[in-house]
Each structure stands twice: as C-alpha cells, then as structure tokens.
A and B are shown apart, each in its own frame.
Chain A
C-alpha cells in the first residue's frame, strides 16, 4: 500500500491534467447521443463561468455575482456580430472576452471602492439590469422576445459542423483552464492567498491590494464572456431569461460545491450542477432551495468544496503512508545572509492621534544601516503605532518619514514596502493553505517582479525568477532552520517557528530597513538565540534593523542604539549601557512604575 501510494504521489499533477485533456479532446469523436453531447457542451460552458467565479471569489476573495451579466454581454455581442456578418467564432471570442473584461474593470474599479459588499451588490445589480438594457437596445438585441436568426459560426470562412463546434468548446475550455492553472500556480496565486488572508500582510509584501483584487475580479469576467460566445453559437437563439438570477445563483453554488481555491474544482462543480439539472426532473422546482442550502453548507461545513475534500484525503493518505520527515529543532545553519545594502530610516517629528487620544508626539529618531536600533517602552507607549506609520498603514498627522533620500510620508503601504521597508507583525500573519516555502517566496513578490502575463505564458523571465525564488527560499529556510519543514503548511507551525518564518519572509524581500514587531515574544530560549544570531547577520549584511521588543535581555545584547518611548514621547536615546543606567528609564519602564511590564507578552 505504501509503495502504491508513493508511486501515485510521484506522478506529477500535470500528467493527470494532460490525460484528462486528451480524453476530453476525444469526446466529440465518440458519436455520443445528441442529448449527452449537448449536456457536456453546456456543462463546459457553465464550467467556464464557474471558473471565473473561482478566480474572483476563491483567489481574489471578491464575491462577484455579475458573472451572468458578463455571460450575457459575451453572448449578445457574439449574436449581434454574427447577424451583422461577422460569423468567425474566433473573432467573436476575442470581442466577447474583451467586452467582459471591460465590464469587469469598469464595475470593479467603482465597486471595489467600498469593499466586498459593494462589489457583490454592484455586480449583482448588473444581472438585474440585463432585461432592461436589452430592452433599451431592442432594435439590435430583440429585447424581451429574444434574438433569433443568428447564422452558424465559422472558423476562417468554413462553417463549423456540430462536431467541429463541440471540439471548439473543448479546446477553448482546455486553454482557459491552462491559463488559470498557470496564474494560480505562479507567485501571483500565492499573492492572492496572502491577500485573502490578510490585506495588511499583502500590502507589507508590496502587493497593491486594490490592483490585485481588481485583476482577480476582472480576469474572472473573461471566461464568462467566452462562454457567452460559445452559447450563442450553440443555440443560435438568445433570450434574456437565459441570463437571470437563477444562473447567477447556480454558478455560485457550483463554485462552492466544486471548491473555489482550486483550478479544476469549478469544472467538477459545474458538471455536477449540469448533471443534476438534466437528470432530476424535479430539480428545477427545488433548484433555488438546493443552491441556497449549498451556499450555506459550503460556508459553514465544507469550505473547500469537493477540491478541499480531495486535498484533505490526499493529506490523510500522506500522513498514513509516507514517513513524516523528522523536524529538527530550530538549529539554524551556517548559510550566510546575502548582502542587504541598507538605507537610513529617518523619523522626523512624527505625531499621531486617534480621535482625541494623542498616541505619538513629535517623535524623532534615526535608524542607521548596518545597525540594530531598538525601540522599547511600556505597553501602549506607541511603539507599534510608530511601526505602522513607517509601514504606511496609518498616515502621520504631523512630521515626516524618509528612507535615505526617498520620501515615505503619505505613501500607501505597498509603495512603502516596494521602496525597501519590510516588517514582521506582533501576531505572526501566516495565511492558511500555503506552504512554508511559499510563505517565504511571497516575500519576494516585489523584490523580483514578474507580470501576470509573463507568469501565464511561462516566459523566460518567469522561469528565471522561479529559479531564483527556489534558490533564495532554500537558503533562507536553511538560515532560520526551517528547511526540514519547507513543505509543511505554514499555519500549522508552532508560534516560535512562525515568528522565524516571518523574519525569513521579511528578509526575502531584500529590505533596506527591517522592522521587527516583538519578534521574540513567545520564543523559547533556543529560538531567541537563533533570532539574536540572525539579527546580527542581517545587520552585518548592511540592513538597518528596527527592533520593537519587550525582552530587555535581547535588546541589551543585540541593539547598537536604544530609544525609549513613554506615553507617546521619546524619553531617552543612547547606547545600551547608557539606557540601562538611565534613571527615568528605570522608573518608567524597568522599575516601579505601575504600567511597566518587563519581558512580558503584549
């Protein structure tokens, strides 16, 4: 059994996909029963729509209910083109895909301004408007009575037979699923996962949250447009009733059923929904109830859909039959930190208030490259707020932030990150599902860029960057002693290892300044030692390190310069020895003051 499973697992995933694809290409030549063939074609068309929902909701985390509208736009643009004499299906596909993308971009840009709900509602509204829009252009679209008299599609001038057309549907579907696969298995797929888990984290790795959501949503509209063209050419008749709320909910239910965070899950979900609609005579009457139940169940019980169940099954079999690699304690290795030329971080007279609560008042400090600058102070003294201001998560009320000669004041978080400011968080932000290796690779998103198109076409740049990703991630994992767990799910690691993982991710972005927010809290002694050594290495590599820390021992042993904050003001700055001897610091922070907490967990 073990041998068998190991053999199964050693088959790369693309082999299975290729076999399925080849089988699918044979379907049109099997002389299937007309009804069966038609259901398969409708199922594939549905799968295209559902796959777009998967991209938008599963990866970009945006609930898009407008897929039915993009589908209608694609279908009608193809139908109208055909009636006007452009019967070439390839041209129609191009036009409908573009039309859907444009609608997606337009509604996305506006809908995303108010967050998830407003995008869901804006896109849902599109579906409600379909019959009205068709009515307004009744002379071209046929309004409520429908658009009839669509001439059959051609490719390069020759009319497609039903078999040719079946083949065309299969080819379009295969190509689209290949596109999805290439996008989601690239670093952009990981970036989507990161984004969905935490927008803060995504921004701190240099991902523009707005742009990424928009891309997921708008690209997710394309397959719906393509599906529209295919549907128009399959039935040669279009009516507004084909594109209603019923379609919107059935596609969403299919996405939830199949599993959205998956390339092929939507295909499975769509085929099952199509099968149910066809086979169960009563299904139409109960369809809405069933879809509704699916959506609730999908949200509450089986979040990953069928794809999630399969993934869980594989993991269970892995645990059963494949020996677990022995995890080493966080030993770390001799691998060095690559040179990280730093820049001086300048915080100049920064103030910040939340409502009437003045959190920081005129804080001025510098963090020089090649040095560890520690920031200490009691809880609530404004340390984390200062880091958040530097990272661009808050805007300063007064004062300025600079990195070398580069102005950081007022930049959004992802821009700050792209200029070389990297950080870890008080509570480690580690998205679920992705592996330790991918987590570190996520840090390289902005340091070594590849466009989505590049990733999609698997161009030379994508290959080169992927190779560098692999090499550098391996080195970094060696460095923090997590190489043995590289393929484990990142969120399953214990707290100490997650903190080290965050540090590795932060270093992966090749920062000029590294901000560490209580990196040592929750670490055991050995892990603190690893961290201390790591900080030393990063400093020696030339990076400016800013350490917010409660572990006074660690601060004294690693910091070159210490700044003490109390109630939003700097009360002391200087080398460790001076700070340790400072009376005010002893009172405010170390000594007898009520609010003091030394070495505690915040």
Chain B
C-alpha cells in the first residue's frame, strides 16, 4: 500500500507536467519542451520564499505563480511567437528549457534543496500504508486541476475558442478570435499553474536542477499513454508512470526505474501509438 501511495504521488507530479503539455498543445498545437523546467524553477522560487524570506506557504505559492507566469509569458514571446512551424518550436522551447536549467544552476546551485510543506511532520497511516501530507496533497491537486481544466474547457466560450484555435488557427482568426492573445493567455495560465505545481512538487522531489529533464520525459510518457490532448488520459498516464517507476525500483532495483518507464513508452508506441484515450485524426492535404 505504501508503494502504491508513493507511486501515485510521484505519478501526480508527472500528471501535472502532462497537464501543462496538454494545455499548450490544446491551445496552440505546439509542444512546450520547457514545461517541466517551469515546474522545476517554481520549486526553487518556493524554496527561496519559504526558507530564505520565511514567508507563509500560501504567500510563497502565490509568489511562485506570479514569477512563473512572467517566465512563461517571456517564453511565449521569445520562443514561440516569432516561430511558425512546429518543428522549430520544438527546438526553441528545448532551448528555453536548457536556458532555464542553466540559469537555475547559476542562481540556486546544483545541490538538492529541501522545500518545506505545511502540515504535520512525518508520515501517517491510511488503509494499511504510510504516506506524507504532501503525497495526498499532490494527488488531490492533480485530480482537481485536471477535472477543473476539463470542466472549464467544456463550460466557457474561451474554452471552446481554444478548441477551435487548436483545430484551425486561420478559421479561428476569421471568426474574430484573437489567436495571439489567447495563446499568450494560455501560456500565462500554464505558467501560473506551473508555479502552483512547483510549490507542491518541490516538497516531494526537492528542488534540483537536473530534475527538469527527467520530469519532462516522464511527463511525456504520461502524455503518450493518455493520448495527446486528452486531459484525463494524461492524469491516468501520470499515475501509471509513477506506479511503474516505484514498483520496478522496489522489486528490480533503482537502476531499473528509468528503464522500466522507457519500456512502457516503447510498448505504448508499438501497440497503441495514439495513446489509450487519443483519437485518430485523418491527415488533410
């Protein structure tokens, strides 16, 4: 049970990264390579606010959201706005991710920093397994955000506009939707969410510069399992990856955790390349 809990909470981290990928994908059909780095930076910002400035947790989380919103908007401006084709966006957002990696290492160093989390110290028991407050909080956050994003997308006009934009930019523009403004807003929102995620993820994983790459990859596997653009798929994919990782680390050895996740990715791509929840779309000339 403890194993399942730790798998789920780690999986929630990947599900959150996958949610970030999905939001950007749904709004601009682009893949934001730097999504996980945004969460990584947010964890550092939360650390600085909590440990260096001794701010209350809520204020630290809000601060991380504000900072990351700005960072994400900068990313949209320099790495996406001026680039039109999706191949190049892959490179420029990878560039931004690398830049964030490097900058974070310059600012915060390459040591792992312990980000505190409110609530009782130590683990408590639930249904025969042990877990920390942050584990529960992470799973709840992931579920809530995904359900919220799904609801919002169905409910509001701008949600529908986002779907419209992701299907056909030109048509959306012609219907009076400001595509650029909407893309910018999506980035601001995904940045703010990354900020919030960082405040939850940091206490679980520590704030660490090398974390970005590994979170990016596991988040991507979550996305591949769930299918691009499927919000619930990404959530389930994240949990799957987390559990696979924990179980293989426990029974096969720590060196097999990455390898097992990679094997899952290969399997999904071989058997069901569109993901479990992805829809097949016919190519248009």
Contacts and interface: CB of A to CB of B under 8 A. Distances in A.
B79 A300 contact: yes
B57 interface: no
A286 interface: yes
A288 B105 contact: yes
Nearest to A285: B106
Contact of B269 (A111, A126, A129, A133): A111
A299 B89 contact: yes
Interface string A124-135: 111011011101
Interface in B79-108: 79, 82-83, 86-92, 94-103, 105-106
Interface in A559-585: none
Interface string A110-145: 110110111011101110110111011000000000
A357 to B, nearest CB: 12
Contact of B83 (A200, A285, A292, A300): A300
A427 to B, nearest CB: 10
A354 interface: yes
Interface stretch (B120-128, B178-186, B255-263): B255-263
Nearest to B92: A299
A497 to B, nearest CB: 22
Nearest to B209: A288
Contact of B99 (A65, A116, A120, A289): A289
A176 interface: no
Contacts of B283: 393-394
Contacts of A133: 259
A294 to B, nearest CB: 7
B128 to A, nearest CB: 31
A125 B255 CA distance: 14
B4 interface: no
A44 interface: no
A121 B103 contact: no
B214 interface: yes
Given A110-B270, A300-B79, A128 B92 contact: no
A529 to B, nearest CB: 29
B157 interface: no
Contacts of A292: 95-102
B278 to A, nearest CB: 9
A118 B87 CA distance: 12
B55 interface: no
A178 B31 CA distance: 36
A291 B220 CA distance: 23
Interface string A46-83: 00000000000000010101000000000000000000
A483 to B, nearest CB: 30
A297 B106 CA distance: 21
Contact of A296 (B92, B101, B214): B92
B269 A295 contact: no
Contacts of A249: 94, 98
Contact of B213 (A120, A135, A245): A245
B36 to A, nearest CB: 11
A287 interface: yes
B30 to A, nearest CB: 10
Contacts of B90: 63, 116-117, 120
A153 interface: no
B174 interface: no
B265 interface: yes
B98 A291 contact: yes
A63 B91 contact: yes
A299 B83 contact: yes
Interface residues of A, number: 52
Given A132-B259, A296-B95, A125 B265 contact: yes
Contacts of B213: 124, 128, 245
Interface string B33-74: 000000000000000000000000000000000000000000
Given A200-B285, A288-B105, A132 B269 contact: no
Most A-side CB within 10 Å, residue of B82, B220, B257: B220
A287 B103 CA distance: 10
A113 B97 CA distance: 25
Contacts of B285: 200, 384, 388, 393, 425
B282 A289 contact: no
Contacts of B266: 110, 122
A298 interface: yes
Interface in A228-245: 245
Nearest to A388: B285
A291 B86 CA distance: 20
Interface string B261-275: 010011001100110
A559 to B, nearest CB: 24
Contacts of B270: 110, 113
Nearest to A122: B265
Contacts of B171: none
A303 interface: yes
Most A-side CB within 10 Å, residue of B83, B89, B269: B269
Contacts of A252: 91, 94
Nearest to B210: A245
Contacts of A394: 282-283
Contacts of A63: 87, 90-91, 94
A296 B262 contact: no
Contact of A299 (B91, B99, B256, B274): B91
Nearest to A250: B98
A288 B101 CA distance: 7
Nearest to B227: A114
B102 A295 contact: no
B241 to A, nearest CB: 12
B136 interface: no
- Sort A-B residue pairs by CB-CB distance and give the 4 closest, nearest first: A295-B95, A288-B102, A292-B99, A292-B98
27 contacts: A63-B90, A63-B91, A110-B270, A114-B273, A114-B274, A122-B265, A129-B259, A132-B256, A136-B256, A249-B94, A249-B98, A252-B91, A286-B106, A288-B98, A288-B103, A288-B105, A289-B98, A289-B99, A292-B98, A295-B92, A296-B92, A296-B95, A299-B89, A299-B91, A300-B79, A300-B92, A393-B285
Given A125-B217, A136-B256, 6 more contacts: A111-B269, A128-B214, A132-B258, A295-B92, A300-B78, A300-B83
